[in-house]
């Protein structure tokens, strides 16, 4: 998976690779990292949902663009973030769910254009919206994850 390169020189590319390698190394930590989710849950979702009609109700296949962006989003989460459950929705997009209880839950769907659509139930309140994803988790998503588990 790649990220947008902010620069055009070989040196810029070298820096980006070094930083990504370091981060990836930390993500391999069982305590802090997201590697296991990428390897297991995201891969399982892809395996189960990459064919048309994977739900028996004419669901669209999960797109590789959504899969790639979901992987990037997971890797951009701060180390140690509570891990989400991974799934897919019938429009062919990967969904990440942080679930604490019936009324404290957050779902983020990731499309191939890099738009994040989020919907949260927080007790009596509902929050939803769309944020562009530029390889950094939007602050509102981080705030909502924290609020899901804040009770």
| Interaction site with another protein (CB under 8 A) | 1-2, 4-9, 11-12, 14-15, 18-19, 22, 43, 46-47, 50, 64-65, 67-68, 71, 112-114, 132, 134
Q: Quote helix, strand, coil % in the chain, to nearest 5.
A: 35, 25, 40
Minimum Å distance from CB 51 to another protein? 9
Task: Return the number of the residue (20 or 89) whose C-beta is nearest another protein.
Answer: 20
Minimum Å distance from CB 40 to another protein? 12
Q: By C-alpha distance, which of 76, 75, 117 is closest to 94? A: 117
**Dihedral sign computed on CA atoms, order 8, 112, 147, 98:** negative
Q: How far is CA 10 from CA 7, 16, 22, 72, in A?
A: 9, 10, 18, 22
Minimum Å distance from CB 135 to another protein? 9
Task: Return the number of the residue (134 or 149) whose C-beta is nearest another protein.
Answer: 134
Task: Return the number of the residue (52 or 123) whose C-beta is nearest another protein.
Answer: 52
């Amino acid at each position: 998976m790649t990220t947008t390169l902010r620069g055009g020189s070989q040196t810029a590319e070298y820096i980006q690779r070094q930083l990504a390698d370091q981060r990836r190394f930390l993500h391999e930590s069982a305590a802090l990292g997201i590697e296991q989710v990428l390897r297991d849950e995201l891969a399982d979702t892809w395996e189960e949902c990459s064919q048309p009609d994977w739900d028996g109700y004419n669901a669209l296949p999960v797109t590789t663009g959504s899969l790639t962006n979901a992987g990037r989003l997971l890797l951009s989460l701060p180390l140690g973030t509570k891990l989400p459950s991974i799934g897919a929705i019938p429009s062919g997009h990967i969904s990440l769910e942080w679930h604490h209880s019936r009324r404290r839950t957050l779902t983020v769907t990731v499309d191939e254009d890099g738009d994040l659509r989020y919907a949260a139930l927080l007790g009596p309140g509902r929050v939803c919206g769309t944020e562009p994803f530029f390889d950094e988790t939007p602050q509102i998503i981080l705030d909502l994850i924290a609020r899901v588990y804040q009770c």
